[in-house]
Chains A and B, each alone.
Chain A
Amino acid sequence: MSLTPEEVDKIADLARLELSDEERSAFRYQLSSILDYVGKLSEVDIEGVEPMSHSIPVFNVLREDDLEICNTETRSEIIASFPEKEGDLLKVKAVFE
Chain B
Amino acid sequence: MDTRTLTSQKISQGLTAGEWSAKEIAQAFLAAAKQGQNSTHAYVDLAEDLALQAADESDTRRAAGRSLSEFDGVPIAIKDNIMVAGCRATAGSNILKNYVAPYDATVVQRLKSKGLVILGKTNLDEFAMGSSTESSCHGPTLNPWNLERVPGGSSGGSAAAVAEGSAPAALGSDTGGSIRQPAALCGTVGIKPTYGRVSRYGLIAMASSLDQIGVLSRSVADVAGLLRIIENRDPKDSTSVDLLEKWQIPAKLTGSVKGLRIGLPKEYFVSGMEAGVERAVRSAVDRFKELGAEIVEVSLPHSDYALAVYYIIMPCEVSANLARFDGVRYGLRVPGETLVDTYRKSRGQGFGQEVRRRIIIGTHALSAGYYDAYYRRAQQVRQLISDDFTRVLADVDCILAPSSPTVAWKLGEMADDPLAMYLQDIYTVSVNVAGLPAINLPCGLVDGLPVGFQLIGRHFDERTILSAAADYEQAEGGFDSFIPSASPKEKK
Mark A residues whose CB is within 8 Å of B: 3, 7-8, 11-12, 14-19, 23, 27, 30-31, 33-35, 37-42, 44, 46, 49-56, 58, 61, 63, 74, 77-78, 80-84, 90, 92-95, 97
Is there an interface contact between A55 and B305, defined as CB atoms closer than 8 Å?
no
Contacts A34-B422, A61-B239, A77-B103 supplied; 16 other A-B pairs, CB < 8 Å? A11-B367, A14-B367, A23-B353, A27-B356, A27-B357, A34-B361, A38-B312, A38-B378, A41-B308, A41-B381, A54-B195, A54-B239, A56-B196, A77-B100, A78-B330, A94-B339
- Residues in B with CB closer than 8 Å to A7 are 364
Contacts A74-B103, A83-B333: A52 and B356 contacting too (C-beta < 8 A)?
Answer: no
B28 CB-CB contact with A under 8 Å: no
> Nearest chain-A residue to B307 (Cβ)?
A37
Q: How many residues of B contact A (CB 8 A)?
A: 73
Q: B301-326 CB contact bits vs A (8 Å, 1 = yes)?
A: 01011011101100000010000001
- Our pick among B209, B345, B364, B381 for the contact of A46 (Cβ within 8 Å) is B381
**Which among A34, A49, A81 is the interface contact of B330 at CB below 8 angstroms?**
A81
Residues A81 and B360 in contact, CB atoms below 8 Å apart:
no
B361 contacts across to A, CB distance below 8 A: 31, 34-35
List residues of B (232-262) whose CB comes within 8 Å of A's CBs.
Answer: 235, 238-239, 241
Closest to A49 in B: B380
Give min CB distance, B457 to chain A, whole Å.
13
The 10 closest A-B pairs by CB, nearest first: A55-B435, A18-B348, A77-B102, A51-B379, A83-B333, A61-B238, A52-B383, A46-B380, A93-B339, A16-B343
Contacts of B418 in A (CB 8 A): 30, 34
A58 touches B238 (CB 8 A): yes
A81 partner, pick from B99, B309, B344, B351, beta carbons under 8 A: B99
Query: B345 to chain A: which residues have CB within 8 Å?
Result: 18
Q: Give the chain B neighbours of A3 by CB distance below 8 A.
A: 364
Q: Is the interface of B mostly helix, strand, loop or mixed?
A: helix
Find out whether the CB atom of A58 lies under 8 angstroms from the CB atom of B196.
yes
A43 nearest in chain B by CB position: B305
Q: Tell me if B339 and A92 are in contact (CB < 8 A).
A: yes
State the CA gap A40–B306 with chains docked (Å): 11
Contact B333 A51 (CB under 8 A): no
Query: Which residues on the A side are within 8 Å of B194 (C-beta)?
Result: 56
Q: Is B434 an interface residue (CB 8 A)?
A: yes
Report chain B residues within 8 Å CB of A78: 102, 330
Chain A residues near B5 (CB, 8 Å)? none
Cross-chain contact B459 with A56 (CB below 8 angstroms): yes
In the complex, residue of chain B having the shortest beta-carbon distance to the beta carbon of A8: B360
